[in-house]
Each structure stands twice: as structure tokens, then as C-alpha cells.
Amino acid sequence: MFVDVAKIVVKAGKGGDGAVAFRREKYEPAGGPYGGDGGQGGSIILEGDEGIRTLMDFRYKRFYKAEDGENGKTKNQYGRKGQDLILKVPVGTLVKDGNTGRVIVDIKEHKQRYVIAKGGKGGRGNSKFATPTRQAPRFAEPGTKGEEKTIILELKLLADVGLIGFPNVGKSTILSILSAAKPKIANYHFTTLKPNLGVVRVGEEQSFVIADIPGLIEGAHEGAGLGHDFLKHVERTKLLVHVLDGSGIEGRDPIEDFYKINEELVKYNPKLKNKHQIIVANKMDLPQFRDWIGKIKDEFEPLGYRVFSLSAATKEGIKELKYGIWEVLKDIEYEYETFDEKMVEYFEEPEEEPIIVKKEEDQYIVEGSFIERLLYSVNFDDLDSLRYFQNVLKQKGVVDKLRELGIKENDTVLICGYEFEFFE
């Protein structure tokens, strides 16, 4: 089993600021507050997509941000909501918190959605702060910040395609050309001791996972050589690409090799007889290839096998093979591998950050996300706005807590980094 991992940062959009505006119309002499609310920031949403096989795209881009909400407008018009950003991930993707490692969600189904970063709330316009005694508020509320998280995406990779064949037929070279994998390549038997994995991109959103399965020898079904390890990987694939030495320069008969390997597959598990296979005759750059390719096609094409000729050395025929594999894969039903449901823990919605009132040495300090929002909404040049600020501090118990800590007239209070003098 292979696990594909990507670490990314997601940042939801900020909520739009509320507007400060007043009616100034010919037949409305009284006017009044007219500022609309800001729009909500866009959220970042993960969506399961059965057409995506890997986390490849998340390696090229690590930071994702949704659109901010639009600021409120005059005439009580709301700002436009920020557009959500939908990140499509393979079905079977496990999402973890990048800081704690805790599991957030397991995307198990096609089209399943999960809001991984929630957009900030839009701020209220000044019309929302009007009261019988405060008829012309000159302040509005700013939008809140969108959530920002570092997350880890994990995906159990099942190879869609398995490259099989006797040792030294060119499987590792073919893998390295088709994908970005960098397997060890040398001209001797049993070069590959464990499967090498690569991802082959077909289009902008299409890709498949291919594995160079370790070379096989006769008796593998009894555990000889790499035996059972090899065959377990074969069982998991959707399609087998059977690579033959089309030149015969190793002194082997490629047609006999095909039947010997398939015999080992069936002895290990009779169901493997029905596994989809295509045949690749490699080493077409060698003169001996011409002596064999006709025999190979005459033997296998009447049996329904597609035969591709290529040269891993010159890369001739690679493109035809890639798209030929994809055409077959599209028609084979896919099985998804998900993580054990027992290990999945879901985060609860975080509670609003509490207001912190404390004393450090001779300094009184007030902090918290709510207080920060409140502070930025205040117009300190406007008496009504300042009174609103003071009233909210009293309602939230901030003034009482400061008194409990021993605050006195004219003492300094640091509120979210800004200094204020305390007056009763």
C-alpha cells in the first residue's frame, strides 16, 4: 500500500465591511443611516471527485485563498458574497490538521463536500446601529477574517496499472518515461526489489497511477523469488501491462514468457485470469525486433489482446501506449480504498474566542477576537460611536473584571494593542 501526501494552506475570504452612509434625497429631509452590510467571505470547500486519482496538483500549488466579501454599499445595499473555492480531491482522501495531526474528515464518496475553511462574516452597516437615542450612527462594523488552516491530505494509492514481465524487459525504463518516477535502472535481473510508483498525466484533470511490479520468476505462486509480494500488488491493479522483450536478445522466447507469467498468476489466484491485460513489445529499436513482432501479433491479437510496439530506449511508441492505457482504464470500474472509519475524528465547531482580561505587572490588558472586531468598528471622532464602544464593554463584563483586578481612575488599559485611560 502506498500513501500519497500533500501539505497545503487554505485561507477563506474576509467578510466585507459594513458601510457608513446617510440618505441625502430631496424629499427626505430627515435623512438617516443608509449603509448596507458587507458580504460574507468565500469559504474553501473540499469535494470528492472519482475522476481524480492522485494528489499531484497539490504539489505544484500549496496556498489556496477564497474570494473576499464585498463591502456594503449605500442605500442599505448588501455587499456581494465572496465566491467559494472548491478544491476537488480524490475519493478516499483523509484530511488532517497540519499542526496537530488530528483527523478532520475522510472524503469517502463522489461529490461529498466538506467546508474546510469558513468565510468571514460580513460587517453590519451603520443602519443596523440606529436606535431611538442614536439616530445617526457614524460607525459600522468591519467584516471578520476568514479561517486559515494548514492541512495535510493523505490518499491511499492503489496502482491503476501494473507493469509486469520477466526481469530486464524494460519495465522500469517505461515507468520513468511515462511518469515522473525515478526508479533504479540497470541491465541486470531483479533490478526492482519493490514496486516503484508513478503518476501519468493524460489531460488537465485526468491521470492514472502506474506501478512497476518487481520481476517475476517461475514458482512465484509458491513464494519463490519475490513471489507473494509481487502477486499481492498484481491483485490490486485494474489493468496489467505485460511487457515482453520483443527482440529476444536475452535468449528467451517472448511468447513463452507471456504464458509462463500468466500461469503463475492463475496458480496464485484463479480470478487473475480475468484481469484486463494489454501487451507491450519493447526494444523495437533493435534489428532482432523485426523477427519477433509479427509472431507476437499473430499469437495474441486473435485472442483479443492489444499489442503495442515501442522502444523504451528511443521513446518511440510511448505516446500511443499512454493513451491506449487510458482508453482501457476509462471502461473499468474503479474501487476506492478508504481509511478505517474508526480512526476518523471530526473537529467540533470552535467556540468564539473568549474575552481575556488580565493584569501583567502594572499593565491592564484586554484581548480577544470579539474585542478586536469591536475596536475596528468604532469611529473615535464620533461621540455616539464611542458611547456604543463603552456600552458593549460594560455588557460583556469587561469593566467589572477590570475593577476586580484593582483598576483605578486614570489607569492605562491596553485593548488589542491600543492604549486607553480608564474613567468611571
Annotated binding site for GTP: 165-172, 190-194, 212-215, 282-285, 311-313
Among 245, 260, 242, 263, smallest CA distance to 189 is for: 245
Among 124, 23, 21, smallest CA distance to 69 is for: 124
Question: CA 423 to CA 411: how far, in whole Å?
Answer: 8
Residue at grid coordinates 478516499: 92
Among 232, 320, 323, smallest CA distance to 284 is for: 320
Among 336, 323, 329, smallest CA distance to 49 is for: 336
Q: Which three cell numbers stand for residue 241?
A: 501491462
Question: CA 279 to CA 295: how far, in whole Å?
Answer: 13
> Are the C-beta atoms of 129 and 137 separated by less than 8 Å?
yes
Query: What region, left, alpha or beta, does residue 293 occupy, with left being phi > 0 and alpha being psi -120 to 50 degrees?
Result: alpha
| Binding-site residue set | 165-172, 190-194, 212-215, 282-285, 311-313
Calculate the alpha carbon distances from 119 to 13, 25, 185, 404 in Å. Answer: 5, 35, 49, 37
Calculate the alpha carbon distances from 268 to 125, 230, 274, 309 in Å. Answer: 72, 11, 13, 29
Question: CA 231 to CA 226: how far, in whole Å?
Answer: 9
| Binding-site residue set for Mg(2+) | 172, 192
Among 24, 31, 18, smallest CA distance to 139 is for: 18
